[in-house]
Structure 1
Amino acid sequence: MLSVPDGVDVRKVDLSIELQILAFHEQRKAGEEAAADVTAAQAVGTAQTAVAAGREGSATDQGPDGDVPAVMPA
């Protein structure tokens, strides 16, 4: 027999079900965080690629033998 003060509600629960629900929500939250991390990493990778391309020059900035011409178009 369980005795509790007035104003306290007691509910019978199946702990295995409650743990399954908790595990489900934690797994879903971890998946959402991982997806956000991948999206952020892709954005950083794209920015780094753009910066590297700007430093090295693109294919249209290269002369016929692959060198960067002495006079760059404006």
Structure 2
Amino acid sequence: MLFFLPLDYFSSINLRTPISLQDRNCSICHVTHTSQWHRHSKPGHYLCAACYRKQQRIMKSIKNKKENDRI
């Protein structure tokens, strides 16, 4: 079975055009310079290294809490 997408399906995301490093800003703290950029779960959004690490710690604690609740 084939599925066809409308021609303008990806036009709002525009996956073909790379975002230059000067145009990036963190989706959480809005800094424009960082040692490393990470992709956000939303297309076209980025996280700075500090916010990415913080999000990783939060997600890990949520995962551990869920596992402890099951026991």
Query: If the length of structure 1 is used for normalisation, what is the TM-score?
Result: 0.40
Higher RCO (C-alpha under 8 Å, 6+ residues apart): 2
Query: If the length of structure 2 is used for normalisation, what is the TM-score?
Result: 0.41
Rg comparison, structure with higher value: 1
Greater fraction of residues in strand: 2
